[in-house]
Structure 1
């Protein structure tokens, strides 16, 4: 018997075609519609161009950057302390592409209507390829409002921060073509309670805003320690204050900034997070002394917005993979996406994805109009609402999307495991769920007019009885202040779902809005995915969410 005839044991069939090289913008009809709806139509050519990069070279770079994690080098071969984090070239490719296309700088360098929405759309695409670059990109973007509070520091740093040149060299700011910014707030003993921080700041001279200090202490989490400078918190005689701490002193010598170790994290593996010590590190005060938390919150608000965008992006990529798989995979002689139960699941996932995108883009519109008092109050509230809700929904949604693909969604050849590991970071980083819900209560109780702005935004339900009833129940819930902190999660979730329902209704796609309201405000709300009630146009929803060009 000639055994060579059995060298090929089978033909490969019933597998979906590859999505490699796909333009992620062109296959995403909801992103196209929502970015245009909130004022970023003028930026469509640049968003489209980024969609091609995200689905092509950046997607490949994302896999490589995760396969080759950053490495900490404390000393050089001669024994000198260097505190360097070394990255694979793929990570630098991701960073360089993002910086060159203005992801950290667009709304600040070119402010115009829809700029924040356009930047959010490109960030949404970038994060689908790889979310590990999110920390340095987000913090570089988000530091601008805080730095502008100290003009003399802003004059030195902002030209480099807003540059579209990526310069990863470990040299002083005077020699850099572009700069990235990190953040160091958390300490071992306090965690979220930054007022328990023990790091001390000692004035070099007179002290006060814009003046030099030396910092002594530690940070349990320092995000992106390879950055050129960090916004950090330290105690002075007047309380917790905010500082800009560069990696190099003005004379180009290295600052007294020491990396202890890199964190071994569940996800976010291509990015470096670290423990650091300040041993007399030179830093400059930003904002009023003793008002460090309000100052750094200017940065945190923007990073929380990016948590919304980032989690929405992870959900979209999971949905893209699942819907594409099911559109081409047959079981029992029938394509999966045509089978009723799978349609129920895919449509439910699509509703979750689009409602997250809608709320994120609406937040982008608010950021584009902060000069309007109503929009500023809306942003103050919905930053916390959206950060809580969207980031909470992502892990379970991505898990369900992976399950749609069976074992193919569980192996590391697929992007789904990486998306799943990445999802929890956004709900934890920049304030966990309870922190966000308490912030919602703080905004509503301590900032006049915020509650009124919420209900003006929601209106009367836009003709939908279920939404109108939900809004009235929400009003009653806020009138009852007894044990309101205990109920903070439920209140925050009710706000989020109401806003999402309102946005989907306004957009005018009846299949989407009807399906969302029936499932999120009806009797089946709170159940697992794939429990949409009867009457939902699942075929239309699935068709809308499935990659459009394939």
Structure 2
């Protein structure tokens, strides 16, 4: 017997992450379900390369740097003699990760000409790339989400502006068109020295998601507002509105622009505005700048913005989230006056999908670590025996990982199906049919009737975000923490790839950002009970449930009655009671939809592993009774059969690559 020491004795071999494009079974199945085969073959090499690159050692070094060197206000926001400067400093890690995301087109992918021919599929492919990048991005995907939303908003208005008749109320001036086009080009650029990210300023002190109490005011001053510069940092005309107010949460404080809400006059409601973050500095103005990289900012200043302080958060710590005072911020109105809620809804629909993708990207990475760890870690064999076996051969551990994988896969299907519907809504008339053709006829799960797309998206937007982000929190804890034991609770910055605690901390915010679970549940009930549009959304959801269980008599016999009962409850119960029970209604609807999507996935190729996932989900959620024949058969299966099924669920039909694991 030899005692161990700090440098001798047993040392656990580090697990090594596999390329998640291939290793994550859910990623593969989402692609197979939603993307035509010819397009999959075309894009696979590029996406697989991205999945390799996000695991490179220098990426993890940038993550560690971003977490250690957090953003700060130089001098606490003042210079040596007390003058306000609002000089934000971000670290090398943050800037390096942002540059990587920009160069790889994490946002631009959905908008650039190279991918227009992918039509509606471009949105799902973009989100798959975001999913792979998310856990390595150190929350640069947060401003990326807002950038995506702002890009879509500007894209819509530039397209509408080109078709608006001269002299109409919504006619866009040539100056504004030029400004918005310049901003759009920067948002979709892949050159980090030129690209912009965007902020999204809604939250104020009177209420988080409740923007009805907004205290920010916009005043029309023309193009020569008193005390304001006339042009932005690029020499383009500043907007004719001057905005004053206070924004309580502003992520992406280092952005190049923002979309924000403000009041214009009593009784008019809220309006949406575009504003660049910087403008040319008048001679008498104080020197204020943002240090974001190599570009000089000496001749510019913040556009009527003062950074009061940065928020100290439990997670997403590298993101420069700030409190901002606006005084004379020059801006352009987006859309019609008083129509700001409708305009910002375009942004929210996209950022909500990004929230779910963020949670699932983190959970997918954590699950990848847990799977890799199971190929390295040994435990005691038979009770009382001296033999050792790898964790992936433990029936109990594989049962646990399989249960987590089923939950994860269901959430993946709901989120990416929502992204698919969003892509259809954005591009129902693609410029090219490449990648759109398939053997399926119109009206199947992947090709819903055109009239159902909009109503379906309105319902799924709130539903998927609330359910996925809420359910991801315990999933992240179980995978991030428990699967590795005490090591999973450590920060592990010395081995950043194993920093599961960071994944957990960063994931929990998404159940709050862009609407808490209660707020989004309320939104869903109001959508489904709307006097004019409610029936269309209910019909669209019913179409989805019915279509997803085609060919599966068991799932159909369970899920269709469950949906019918839920719909009857929604249509016959007073709105006040429904609002009080909104969370339960949203969860019930989400679980019915996930059950249907799992059924559709299983029947898409006859996978026995996914069929087992579908059955176990129906049993877990109470759709399938414990006394059913299927449940009894599953319960009486031998340990060997259970282990084989669970291994196929977690590692895929070919099982784990044990030979590779032995070499690592």
Normalising by structure 1, report the TM-score. Answer: 0.90
| Equivalences for residues 137-216 of structure 1 within 5 A | 137-151=144-158, 152=177, 153-167=179-193, 177-205=194-222, 212-216=240-244
| 1:8 Cα deviation after fit | 7.1
8 Å CA contact 2:591, 2:621 repeated in 1? no
Distance 1:243 1:366, change over 3 A: same
1:393 counterpart = 2:471 = yes
Residue of 376, 395, 414 corresponding to 2:454: 376
Residue of 22, 29, 32 corresponding to 1:26: 22
Distance 1:10 1:544, change over 3 A: same
Which is further off, 531-540 or 384-393?
531-540
**Counterpart in the other structure of 1:230:** 258
Aligned length: 530
8 Å CA contact 1:389, 1:496 repeated in 2? yes
**Counterpart in the other structure of 1:135:** 142
| 1:466 Cα deviation after fit | 4.4
8 Å CA contact 2:538, 2:567 repeated in 1? no
**Counterpart in the other structure of 2:587:** 493
| Equivalences for residues 270-281 of structure 1 within 5 A | 270-281=318-329
SS at match of 1:142: helix
Distance 1:376 1:231, change over 3 A: same
For each residue in 1:257-295, what CA deviation from the matched residue of structure 2 results, as whole angstroms up to 9, or x when unmatched? 011111111100111111101011111111111111111
SS at match of 1:186: coil
8 Å CA contact 1:187, 1:194 repeated in 2? yes
| 1:443 Cα deviation after fit | 2.2
| 1:504 Cα deviation after fit | 2.2
Distance 1:307 1:468, change over 3 A: farther
Residue of 518, 532, 536 corresponding to 1:434: 518
For each residue in 1:129-183, what CA deviation from the matched residue of structure 2 results, as whole angstroms up to 9, or x when unmatched? 134112211111111232235431432311111111113xxxxxxxxx2211111
Which is further off, 395-404 or 511-520?
511-520
**Counterpart in the other structure of 1:172:** none
8 Å CA contact 1:322, 1:405 repeated in 2? yes
SS at match of 2:465: helix
8 Å CA contact 1:23, 1:54 repeated in 2? no
8 Å CA contact 1:202, 1:236 repeated in 2? yes
**Counterpart in the other structure of 1:363:** 418
Query: Aligned equivalents of 2:588 and 2:418: distance in 1?
Result: 17
1:94 counterpart = 2:183 = no
Residue of 273, 294, 304 corresponding to 1:243: 273
**Counterpart in the other structure of 2:85:** 82
SS at match of 1:249: strand
**Counterpart in the other structure of 2:172:** none
8 Å CA contact 2:542, 2:563 repeated in 1? no
| 1:23 Cα deviation after fit | 2.8
List, as ranges, runs of 4+ consecutive aligned residues in structure 1 with deviation greater than 6 Å.
5-8, 523-526
8 Å CA contact 1:325, 1:405 repeated in 2? yes
| 1:213 Cα deviation after fit | 0.9
Distance 1:8 1:159, change over 3 A: closer
1:104 counterpart = 2:107 = yes
For each residue in 1:317-360, what CA deviation from the matched residue of structure 2 results, as whole angstroms up to 9, or x when unmatched? 11111122122211112222222221111001111222222222
8 Å CA contact 1:222, 1:276 repeated in 2? yes
**Counterpart in the other structure of 1:55:** 55
8 Å CA contact 1:105, 1:162 repeated in 2? yes
Query: Aligned equivalents of 2:80 and 2:275: distance in 1?
Result: 27
Gaps of 5+ in 1: 168-176
Distance 1:262 1:469, change over 3 A: same
Query: Aligned equivalents of 1:524 and 1:330: distance in 2?
Result: 35
Which is further off, 82-91 or 245-254?
245-254
Which is further off, 450-459 or 359-368?
359-368
Q: Which has the larger radius of gyration?
A: 2
Query: Aligned equivalents of 2:111 and 2:335: distance in 1?
Result: 20
| Equivalences for residues 310-389 of structure 1 within 5 A | 310-332=358-380, 333-370=388-425, 371=428, 372-389=450-467
**Counterpart in the other structure of 1:511:** 609
| 1:15 Cα deviation after fit | 3.1
8 Å CA contact 2:246, 2:325 repeated in 1? yes
Query: Aligned equivalents of 1:82 and 1:335: distance in 2?
Result: 58
RMSD value over aligned CA atoms?
A: 2.7
Residue of 417, 420, 429 corresponding to 2:501: 417
SS at match of 1:226: coil
8 Å CA contact 1:35, 1:361 repeated in 2? no
| Equivalences for residues 507-546 of structure 1 within 5 A | 507-508=601-602, 509-522=607-620, 534=635, 537-544=645-652
SS at match of 2:279: coil
Query: Aligned equivalents of 1:155 and 1:505: distance in 2?
Result: 44
Gaps of 5+ in 2: 159-176, 225-237, 282-299, 381-387, 429-449, 493-497, 625-630
Distance 1:525 1:268, change over 3 A: farther
| 1:80 Cα deviation after fit | 5.5
8 Å CA contact 1:497, 1:520 repeated in 2? no
| 1:108 Cα deviation after fit | 1.6
SS at match of 1:412: coil
8 Å CA contact 1:474, 1:491 repeated in 2? no
8 Å CA contact 1:127, 1:314 repeated in 2? yes
1:217 counterpart = 2:245 = yes
8 Å CA contact 1:138, 1:306 repeated in 2? yes
For each residue in 1:463-500, what CA deviation from the matched residue of structure 2 results, as whole angstroms up to 9, or x when unmatched? 24245323312221221242222222222122222222
Query: Aligned equivalents of 2:542 and 2:370: distance in 1?
Result: 36
8 Å CA contact 2:239, 2:330 repeated in 1? no
Distance 1:544 1:215, change over 3 A: same
Query: Aligned equivalents of 2:109 and 2:132: distance in 1?
Result: 15
Distance 1:6 1:428, change over 3 A: closer
Which is further off, 219-228 or 320-329?
320-329
**Counterpart in the other structure of 1:301:** 349
SS at match of 1:232: strand
8 Å CA contact 1:117, 1:361 repeated in 2? yes
**Counterpart in the other structure of 1:285:** 333
Normalising by structure 2, report the TM-score. Answer: 0.75
